[in-house]
Amino acid sequence: MKSFSAKRLFLLAAGMGLFALLLWRAGPHDVLERLRGLGWSFALLLLMALAWNTVAALAWRILFDTRHPSIGFLTLWHTRLCGEAVNTLTPLLNLGGEPVKVLLIRDRLQGDQGAAYVLLDKTIFFLASLLFMASGLAVAFFVFSGHALVIGISALMLSSWIAGLLWLIVQQRKGRTVTAILNLAEKVRLRVSPQFRSRMEEMDRQIAVFWRDHPGRFLAALAIHFLGRAIRTWDVVLAASLLGMKVGISSAYVIAASVMLINAAFSFIPGALGAYEGSHGYFFSLLGLGLDAGISLAIIRRIRTLLFAGLSYLLLVFSPRSNGKAVAAVAACLAAISLGSASGVWAQEETPPQAAETAASSPPASEEAKKVVRLSLPEAIERALQISVELDAVRASTAVAESYVTQAQRARWIPKAELTNIFSANRESHYILDPSEDDDENINQDYIKTNAGKNFFERLSPFNHLQIDLVQPLYTFGKLDAALALARQGLEVSREKTRGKAEEITKRVSLLYWGLLVARDIDEMLADVRKNLDDAHAKIKDKLERETGEVTAIDLYEIESFRAKLAIKIQELIKGRSLVERTLALMLGLAPDETFEPAERRLAPPEYELKAIDDYRESALQNHPEMKQLRAGLLARQAQVDMARANLYPDLFLGARLEWTESPGHHPPPNEPEIDDPKRIFFGGPFIGLRWDLSLHRKSAELGTARAQLTELQALSKAADFGFTLRVTQAYLEVVRARDALEEVGKGLQSAKKWFRSATLNFGIGVEDTDGLIKAYKEYIELRGAHYQALFDYHQAVATLQQEAGLPLLNSQEAAAPAPSEANP
Amino acid sequence: MKRFFFTVLAAISLWLPVSAQATAGTPTDLLKERDTNIRSFLKANPLPLPAPKRSKIEEDLNSLFDYETIAISSLGAHKQKATPKQLQEYIRVFSQVTRNNSSSEDALKHFLQSQIRYEGEAKGPNGATVVKTVIIKNNEEITVDYFFENTKSGWRIVNYVLDDVDLIENYRSSFGKIISEKGFDELISKLKEKLKKKD
């Protein structure tokens, strides 16, 4: 009893240790903050996890004979919760808990039945998961109709997994899954005892028997597992609503399935870094809900998974259903893991293959332990552009548009070729030539005999018809040119969208980068100020105690008040800086053990020459991606008008046809050999053709519609011209304001600095009191802070103007400033 | 708090005087030599300094500092309002306060934690030579321009400009206000009060 208790105690300590490690890596402060934000409603998410685990346990129960007395639903439910807890807490690709399941039920079943049923359940669970992903993809086809390439690649990947799993099931049906692994082990010279082999063969046999004898149970379990996976949809809806977002059922279904799929795809990454949160963010951004919202949701779901695993683990430790062998085995396993891989990252959402950790959810781990990634602004931008999923999505659209152009070009110059072959049975007009009849006068009645007297099958004979057509348009009244123009403008729109997205990312990275530089400067300044204030506080206090008469209690209060305000500023700064660093880390795809550091020392004022406002207005109209898209759109609409007009007229084309029809056993009437027999044709030759859709009333209406749409877009274009002029004007005025503000704050800072220096000199000689000195210092510090803010605002304003004017942002980069000389005199 | 600012001021004044023996070379050379000597001395003698060593470094720091000229220049036109006795007393107290500032323990620590960048010399008014320097501490830069005059005793610092704040002009306006409002004795009284509060 004593040893049993010790095992459980160790199990508790090891498990809680792993739990604490995962919690620490997830950032306990963040976790607490988010839990506080959600309050008791977080329990609903735990209930959701309980729901799908319960449904999965039910599916498992279905596999067993319902009359089986020793293996009830509650046992399997308990076993599953415990096993999945170990799966989550251990870095073993979601398989670490499976042996635990076997150990927990082995005493209730004969031989190795437990292992067989765990393997079967896992296989069916995987299959249900893959089917859920496939159904999610099908829904995605409608929800994300513009991302056919992504969906296509996903479908391809999923198909290969399903094929792999089906192959495994076939092997299981043949009863050679586990033994095949043993054979492989022996090939690499691992020794397998005959007893063990015999047991494994028995297990294979049991699995094969299940597949052979219980297809009904398999289908029922599959359906219930599928239902369990589908509960994830409601989980997404619930988690989103707790965060104040509204996600439709179809979108949630797609997100649940797609996240599962992406996690599976990235399960090969140790710790599956970033995939889980990244996939949430990606799909949320596609739905227009924002990247940040998706990441927040992912973090909440991950916290839930972790806490649910922790609670389930307690069940393993304290439940009387957990037998001693299982407890001992898990304890040993966790001990090995704790010793061997305490530095790993493996907190994962439970998915078939496994999920991910992320820069955003992870850890403000100790900075000293992190690898520093030092990049200049252009390098950071380049890296962000390379890994941006948002940009990839837009680029994929461009690839589609390029394919349309290729199609249109080929339609213009490459003839359309078509081959049709029909192979069938012929049962009509089966003529029989009977040479014994030679009566010219009665040839029609006696020489030709039809099949009228034969039955259906006797009348059948093979029939083949082959037809090859080549059609080259000669003159289409501009249809092909219009189609090509339409495709080209579509491509132009797509390219400009890509450029716009790249500029957007560039600006976002730039602002974060500058923000980080400014935050670092302010951080240093505040740290210095805090040190000075602490020093001053200690000395004033000392002088007050010694009653030197130099200072009063008011001086002390003033310092304390100043210090409190400073502490608030420092807290705000830490929070803001942390957010900036995490966002940048996410955009740069940094690993959790990496931290970003700007290569530049500090933010210098932009060396920016402001041109005349008309230059920017002109540039915006010419170069802004949206304006270019609009212009391309106008040309596309014009092409549509041209196309609609051309549709009023016929197409002239040059064609060639080869036609061959043969029906063996069929013969034409001998007295009419020159008559065209539809069952025996061989014909070929060129022709000139004309095709004309004479629904001119409809075509005419379509032309009217195209013209109206063109007019509408022209009107929109004029409105956009006006809108852009306003936007550029606003951005321009903001640059002027920010520049002037920086100049004024700079002057103010100079004055405050002089005031402070002067007060310092006077204080030193005894003609200034403490109060006057503190006031001067406060003013100086406040203006230094305002100067940093004004500097950042000016950078931001310049970047916005460049972006609105359609000018490259990097031309305004000048942020690099050399570090102050370290010259030692 | 006030000690901190006091030490900043005092530390700045540390760079002002040069050794009495160092009469050769340009003002920049003298400043560099003095800086090296002070650093060597402070490295060899950890703070706090015992009384004899503190007196020594105070002497070394201040012997070339022309306090009399600075004190009189700081009065401007108000010099006429002082009696010879008041003027003598004022110069004595002013010099002593400044000497105390420069050799305080905080000032010496501040000196050790800072670096100086010498940025050349320029011609100043009345034949003065201006030595431009930048003091760097905690990423903050303070520009200090020293005004040297070649007197019978050699090069002496007669003024300095700290981040665009002229020492003489600053004192002149502050002292002038006190003298105008409360008389010369009040100024001497304030300086004496400061002298009493030395570390």
Contact A540 B1 (CB under 8 A): yes
Name every chain A residue with its beta carbon within 8 A of the beta carbon of B9.
Answer: 760-761, 763-764
- Listed range (A276-290, A337-351, B32-46) with the worst mean pLDDT: A337-351
Average pLDDT rounded to a whole number, residues A17-43: 68
Question: Nearest Cβ partner of B5 from A540, A760, A767?
Answer: A760
pLDDT given at position A110: 67
Both tokens assigned to A576: 């803001």
Q: How far is CA B131 from CA B155, B156, B159, in A?
A: 12, 12, 11
A525 or A818, which is more confident? A525
Contact B5 A559 (CB under 8 A): no
Distance CA A795, CA A699 (A): 55
Spatial CA neighbour of A801 closest among A629, A611, A516, A517: A611
Both tokens assigned to A587: 């955009």
* pLDDT band at residue A485 under the 50/70/90 scheme: very high
Is residue B136 classed exposed, middle or buried when 0-12, 13-18 and 19+ CB atoms within 10 A define those classes? middle
The DSSP secondary structure of B113-148, one letter per residue, reads H-EEEEEEEEE-GGG-EEEEEEEEETTEEEEEEEEE
pLDDT given at position B92: 93
Spatial CA neighbour of B157 closest among B2, B6, B34, B5: B34
Both tokens assigned to A330: 């898990």
Contact A754 B165 (CB under 8 A): yes
Q: Point out which residues pair with A426 in neighbouring strands.
A: A461
Contact A757 B165 (CB under 8 A): yes
> The complex's ipTM?
0.84
- In this structure, what is the dihedral angle of CA atoms B96, B97, B98, B101, given to the nearest 10 degrees? 120
Both tokens assigned to A715: 């009107």
- Residue of chain A nearest B179, judged by CA positions: A767
Both tokens assigned to B31: 């400043």
How many beta carbons lie within 10 A of that of residue A678, not counting itself? 10
Name the amino acid, one letter, at B42.
L
Question: Nearest Cβ partner of A559 from B1, B141, B174?
Answer: B1
- Residue of chain A nearest B10, judged by CA positions: A764
Mutate to test the interface with A, among B5, B75, B111, B170 (most CBs of A within 10 A): B5
List residues in chain A touching B: CB distance below 8 A.
521, 524-525, 528, 532-533, 535-537, 539-540, 548, 550-551, 555, 559, 750, 753-754, 757-768, 770, 773-774, 777, 820-825
- Listed range (A126-130, A171-175, A433-437, B158-162) with the worst mean pLDDT: A433-437
How many beta carbons lie within 10 A of that of residue A479, not counting itself? 19
Instruction: Scan residues 34-53 of B and list those with Cβ closer than 8 Å to A.
Output: 35
What is the residue whose two structure tokens read 């029909």? A422
Report yes or no: A298 and A276 within 8 Å, Cβ to Cβ.
yes
pLDDT given at position A7: 63
Report yes or no: A588 and A384 within 8 Å, Cβ to Cβ.
yes
Spatial CA neighbour of A143 closest among A268, A261, A254: A254
pLDDT per residue as tens digits for the range B147-194 = 999 888 888 899 989 888 999 999 999 999 999 999 999 999 999 988
- Residue of chain A nearest B71, judged by CA positions: A765
Is residue A519 classed exposed, middle or buried when 0-12, 13-18 and 19+ CB atoms within 10 A define those classes? buried
The half-sphere exposure of B15 on its side-chain side, counting CA atoms within 13 A, is 34
**A37 backbone dihedrals φ, ψ, rounded to 5°:** -60, -35
Contact B1 A774 (CB under 8 A): yes
**Taking 80 as the threshold, does the pLDDT of residue A432 lie above it?**
no
Name the amino acid, one letter, at A600.
E
Question: Nearest Cβ partner of B141 from A767, A820, A824?
Answer: A820
Distance CA A141, CA A643 (A): 29
pLDDT per residue as tens digits for the range A440-481 = 554 444 444 555 566 666 666 778 889 999 998 889 899 889
A327 or A355, which is more confident? A327
**A682 backbone dihedrals φ, ψ, rounded to 5°:** -140, 115
pLDDT per residue as tens digits for the range B82-135 = 899 999 999 999 998 988 888 788 888 888 888 889 999 999 888 889 999 999
Name the amino acid, one letter, at A533.
L
Omega into A673 within 30° of 0, i.e. cis? no
How many beta-carbon pairs below 8 A join chains A and B?
110
Q: How far is CA A540 from CA A561, A791, B4, in A?
A: 14, 35, 11
Both tokens assigned to A154: 């996903």
Q: How far is CA B178 from CA A556, B74, B81, in A?
A: 26, 13, 12
The DSSP secondary structure of A537-605, one letter per residue, reads HHHHHHHHHHT-SS--HHHHHHHHHHHHHHHHHHHHHHHHHHHHHHHHHHHHT--TTEEEEESSSSPPP
Average pLDDT rounded to a whole number, residues A603-630: 90
Q: Measured between CA atoms, how close is B4 to chain A, in angstroms? A: 6
Spatial CA neighbour of A57 closest among A216, A224, A232: A224
**Taking 90 as the threshold, does the pLDDT of residue A739 lie above it?**
yes
Distance CA A337, CA A816 (A): 46
Q: Measured between CA atoms, how close is B14 to chain A, in angstroms? A: 13
Q: How far is CA A556 from CA A341, A562, B106, in A?
A: 52, 10, 20
**Taking 80 as the threshold, does the pLDDT of residue A190 lie above it?**
no
pLDDT, mean over chain A: 79
pLDDT given at position B161: 92
> Is the entire prediction scored with pTM above 0.80?
no
Spatial CA neighbour of A812 closest among A381, A309, A167, A344: A381
Conformational region of residue B154, where left means phi above 0, alpha means psi within -120 to 50, and beta covers everything else: left
Name every chain B residue with its beta carbon within 8 A of the beta carbon of A768.
Answer: 174
Spatial CA neighbour of A230 closest among A298, A133, A93: A133
Distance CA A383, CA A502 (A): 12
pLDDT given at position A462: 75
Contact A767 B174 (CB under 8 A): yes
With vertex at residue A572, the alpha carbon angle to CA A569 and CA A576, rounded to the nearest 5 degrees, is: 140
pLDDT given at position A571: 83
* pLDDT band at residue A40 under the 50/70/90 scheme: confident
- Residue of chain B nearest A754, judged by CA positions: B165
The helices-and-strands tally (H runs, E runs) of chain A is 22, 8
Mapping DSSP onto H, E and C, the string for A765-780 reads HCCCCHHHHHHHHHHH
Strands A594-598 and A416-426: unpaired
The DSSP secondary structure of A727-764, one letter per residue, reads HHHHHHHHHHHHHHHHHHHHHHHHHHHHHHHHHHHHHH
Contact A539 B97 (CB under 8 A): no
Total residue length of chain A = 825
Name every chain B residue with its beta carbon within 8 A of the beta carbon of A822.
Answer: 115
**DSSP-based three-state secondary structure for A680:** strand
Instruction: Scan residues 159-178 of B and list those with Cβ closer than 8 Å to A.
Output: 162-165, 167, 170-171, 174-175, 178
Name every chain A residue with its beta carbon within 8 A of the beta carbon of B112.
Answer: none
Give me the helices (H) in A27-72, please. 28-38, 42-63
pLDDT given at position B1: 47
For the four alpha carbons of A112, A118, A121 and A124, in that order, the dihedral sign comes to negative
Question: Nearest Cβ partner of A763 from B5, B138, B162?
Answer: B5
* pLDDT band at residue A821 under the 50/70/90 scheme: very low
- Listed range (A248-257, A333-342, A697-706, B189-198) with the worst mean pLDDT: A333-342
* pLDDT band at residue A801 under the 50/70/90 scheme: very high
Conformational region of residue A602, where left means phi above 0, alpha means psi within -120 to 50, and beta covers everything else: beta
**Chain A contact for B120 (CB, 8 A cutoff):** no
Contact B9 A535 (CB under 8 A): no
**DSSP-based three-state secondary structure for B64:** coil
Instruction: Scan residues 81-100 of B and list those with Cβ closer than 8 Å to A.
Output: 94, 97-98
**DSSP-based three-state secondary structure for A578:** helix
pLDDT per residue as tens digits for the range A76-101 = 888 888 888 877 777 665 666 788 78
Strands B154-162 and A651-662: unpaired
Name every chain B residue with its beta carbon within 8 A of the beta carbon of A520.
Answer: none
Name the amino acid, one letter, at B19.
S
Spatial CA neighbour of A355 closest among A301, A311, A317, A393: A301
- Listed range (A3-17, A33-47, A583-597) with the worst mean pLDDT: A3-17
**DSSP-based three-state secondary structure for B50:** coil
Distance CA A509, CA A377 (A): 8
Name every chain A residue with its beta carbon within 8 A of the beta carbon of B163.
Answer: 753-754, 757
**Chain A contact for B10 (CB, 8 A cutoff):** yes
Report yes or no: A236 and A321 within 8 Å, Cβ to Cβ.
no
Distance CA B34, CA B31 (A): 5
Report yes or no: B160 and B167 within 8 Å, Cβ to Cβ.
yes
pLDDT given at position A322: 66
- Residue of chain B nearest A547, judged by CA positions: B197
Distance CA A458, CA A451 (A): 8
**A432 backbone dihedrals φ, ψ, rounded to 5°:** -125, 125
Contact B170 A535 (CB under 8 A): no
**Taking 80 as the threshold, does the pLDDT of residue A5 lie above it?**
no
